[in-house]
C-alpha cells in the first residue's frame, strides 16, 4: 500500500504522513412539506349554482325593495345598474379569479401580495360579525315555519298568553267613521274618517312578533328571560348549516341546487299571487313611480353601492373560496 509500511506479520502500518480524506455529507436543504391538493367541484354547474345562490338571498328579497322605495322608486335602478356594471361585476370576477389562481381561501389567497394579507383577516372579522345577526334572520324564518303548520296561525288571532287587551283582529272601517258628507261624485259617500277608536289597538301580528318572538322587555332594567324555543331554533339552524358544508364542496355542491333555485320559485309564486290581488297595478305604479330629484342626493348612490356589495358578498372572501375549488384553467367568465 502506498504511503504505508508492512510489518513482519503482513499488516499495514499507517504512515504518519498519510492524509485521511474527510467525510463529506451533502448539505440538507429545508424540508418541504407537500401541500395537499385542493379538491375541485364535481361539476362546473355546482360552482355556477353556488354563485347564483349569492345573487339571490336576503339582501335582494328583503333589503332591495326597501331601498328602492326609499330612494325614489324606479330612479334607484339607475345608480344601482350603473354601479353593478362599473364596480360590482368586475370585483365579483376578480375575487373568483384570485381564488382560482392561488387555489387558496380568503386568507391564504393574499399570499400573492403579503403586504395586503391583512385584508384576508379583516374579511374574516367582518364575516364573524355578520354571522352573529344573519343567522338570527334564518332562526326567525325557521321559527315562523314551525308555527305555520298549526291549524290556526298564532299571529292571526288574539286571545293567546302573549296578547294584551289592546289586541284586535279586525280593524273595521265603520269604527272610524264619525260622519259623512254629501254625495260629491255620485258613486257613494265621502267619509270624514277619525280613528280615535283604534288609536291604542294593536294587531296580533305585531304582538306575536314583539311579545312572543322577541319577548321585548319594558326597558334595560328588566333583562327578561331566555327564550328556549329560539335557542332550539338557533341550534337547529347551525346544525343544518354544518351538515350543508361538512364535506366541503362535495356536499355544498348538492345543496346549492335547492338553496339557489328554491328562492326563485318562491319569488315567482309570490309575484303571481301578488299581481292578482286587488289594487296590484296601482301598488306597482306607486312603488316604481320615479322621483328624479333623488338622483342628486349622495345617499341614494351610497345605498346603491352598499346594496351591491352586501347582496353579492363582495369583500367577504366567500367568492375567493368558491373560486379556489375551480380547476386552474377554468374559464370562470364563461
Beta strands in 31-170, from DSSP E residues, in sequence order: none
Name the nearest CA neighbour of 312 among 19, 69, 95, 44. 95
Contact 324, 99 (CB under 8 A): yes
Asked whether 30 and 16 are in contact (CB, 8 A), the reply is no
330: nearest Cα among 89, 33, 54, 51: 51
What length does the chain have?
A: 334
Answer yes or no: is 219 a known binding residue.
no
Measured CA to CA in angstroms, residue 68 lies from 76, 78, 89, 302 at distances of 6, 11, 20, 13
Give the Cα separation of 71 and 93 in Å (integer).
28
Q: Among residues 93, 97, 119, 92, which one has the least CA distance to residue 108? A: 119
C-alpha separations of 302 from 33, 295, 305 in Å: 47, 11, 5
Q: Which helix (H) or strand (E) holds 6?
A: strand 4-6
CA of 74: how far to CAs of 58, 157, 290, 293, 306, in Å? 20, 37, 5, 12, 18
186 is in an annotated binding site: no
27 marked as part of a ligand binding site: no
Q: CA 70, CA 287: separation in Å to the nearest integer?
A: 10
Known binding residues are: 53, 55-56, 60, 311
Known binding residues for Na(+) are: 53, 55-56, 60, 311
Amino acid at each position: 500500500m502506498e504511503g504505508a509500511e508492512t510489518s513482519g506479520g503482513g499488516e499495514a502500518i499507517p504512515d504518519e504522513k498519510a492524509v485521511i480524506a474527510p467525510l463529506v455529507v451533502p448539505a440538507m436543504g429545508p424540508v418541504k412539506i407537500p401541500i395537499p391538493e385542493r379538491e375541485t367541484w364535481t361539476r362546473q354547474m355546482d360552482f355556477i349554482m353556488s354563485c347564483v345562490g349569492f345573487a339571490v338571498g336576503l339582501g335582494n328579497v328583503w333589503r332591495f325593495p326597501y331601498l328602492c322605495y326609499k330612494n325614489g322608486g324606479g330612479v334607484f335602478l339607475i345608480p344601482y345598474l350603473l354601479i353593478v356594471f362599473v364596480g360590482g361585476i368586475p370585483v365579483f370576477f376578480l375575487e373568483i379569479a384570485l381564488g382560482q389562481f392561488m387555489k387558496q381561501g380568503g386568507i391564504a389567497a393574499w399570499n400573492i401580495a403579503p403586504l395586503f394579507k391583512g385584508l384576508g383577516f379583516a374579511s374574516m372579522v367582518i364575516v364573524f360579525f355578520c354571522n352573529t345577526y344573519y343567522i338570527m334572520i334564518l332562526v326567525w324564518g325557521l321559527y315562523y315555519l314551525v308555527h305555520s303548520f298549526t291549524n290556526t296561525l298564532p299571529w292571526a288571532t288574539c286571545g293567546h298568553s302573549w296578547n294584551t287587551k289592546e289586541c284586535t283582529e279586525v280593524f273595521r272601517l265603520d269604527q272610524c267613521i264619525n260622519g259623512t258628507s254629501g254625495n260629491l261624485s255620485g258613486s257613494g259617500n265621502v267619509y270624514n274618517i277619525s280613528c280615535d277608536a283604534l288609536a291604542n289597538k294593536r294587531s296580533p301580528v305585531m304582538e306575536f312578533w314583539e311579545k312572543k318572538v322577541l319577548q321585548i322587555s319594558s326597558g334595560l332594567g328588566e333583562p327578561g328571560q331566555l327564550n328556549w324555543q329560539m335557542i332550539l331554533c338557533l341550534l337547529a339552524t347551525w346544525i343544518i348549516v354544518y351538515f350543508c358544508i361538512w364535506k366541503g364542496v362535495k356536499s355544498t355542491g348538492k345543496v346549492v341546487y335547492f338553496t339557489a333555485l328554491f328562492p326563485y320559485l318562491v319569488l315567482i309564486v309570490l309575484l303571481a299571487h301578488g299581481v292578482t290581488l286587488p289594487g296590484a297595478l296601482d301598488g306597482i305604479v306607486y312603488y316604481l313611480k320615479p322621483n328624479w330629484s333623488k338622483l342628486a342626493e349622495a345617499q341614494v348612490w351610497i345605498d346603491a353601492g352598499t346594496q351591491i356589495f352586501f347582496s353579492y358578498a363582495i369583500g367577504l372572501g366567500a367568492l375567493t373560496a368558491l373560486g379556489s375549488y375551480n380547476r386552474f384553467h377554468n374559464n370562470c367568465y364563461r
